[in-house]
A = this chain, B = another copy of it.
Amino acid sequence: MTSTAPAATTPEDLLRGVGLRVTAARIAALRAVGDQQHATADDVLSSVRDELGTVSVQAVYDVLHALTDAHLLRRIEPAGHPARYERRTGDNHHHVVCRVCGTIGDVDCTVGHAPCLTPNDDHGFVIETAEVTYWGLCPGCSA
């Protein structure tokens, strides 16, 4: 680790920036997801416990909700898998999910900027976002 760069936004600053109280659990969770992109709530729980000792399950869910609501984290929920969290927020990127092992990769939206965002028949729905999930096999499982 040896956190060299003092200039980079610290977890504390991030939290204060969105008006959230600074707590050990939040800092630890933020770092956990930074270290392990696409972490599950359970991954975060282990990671936070490694760092802080005893932390309740509920605390981790609360933290993840708070951070997600504040847009410091983004939650993705691939069908048939527990929810996963990532730090890349704000950009319109999507995901590849491996059918075999569940590994997830990030995919940038290439065609223009928001390709399928405008269906011709929207059934009168007011559409806010389009989410693309690619299903396939990861390098390891396609062997």
Contacts and interface: CB of A to CB of B under 8 A. Distances in A.
A91 interface: no
Count of identical protomers in the assembly? 2
A125 B96 contact: yes
A98 interface: yes
A122 B132 CA distance: 13
A125 B108 contact: no
Interface in A52-86: 76-77, 79-80, 83
A69 B95 CA distance: 24
Contact of A125 (B117, B128, B137): B137
Contacts of A111: 111, 115-116
Contacts of A99: 128
